[in-house]
Amino acid sequence: MTIEIKGKAAELLASQAAAQGTTVEELVEVMVLERAAAELQILLRRKAAVKGIREFRKHVKPDPDGWTIRDYIDHGRR
């Protein structure tokens, strides 16, 4: 994959890479990998949350009067 970076962004990346003693290519690769890892962590947390909600809902019994959640929310508002 080729990414073309020009102007101020290229200068900033070059100076940051030099300060870290690496190349621009290596710096960009690390930045991309860190971003991908962060996004993967978000997806894993969401998946765990959905699993927890589904497990919780297995134990929820229907309302004895047949009311829905919307019925409870709207109760007394009309």
pLDDT in tens, 43-52: 999 999 999 9
Q: Does position 74 have pLDDT exceeding 80, yes or no?
A: yes
CA distance 23 to 6: 16
* Cα 4 to Cα 10: distance, rounded to the nearest angstrom: 9
- Output the average pLDDT for the chain: 93
What is Dmax (Cα atoms) for the chain?
Answer: 70
Nearest alpha carbon to residue 25 among 39, 36, 14 = 14
Q: The tokens 């300060």 sit on which residue?
A: 19
Q: Is the pTM of this model over 0.85?
A: no
User: Whose structure tokens read 């990414």?
Assistant: 3
Mean pLDDT of 19-35: 95
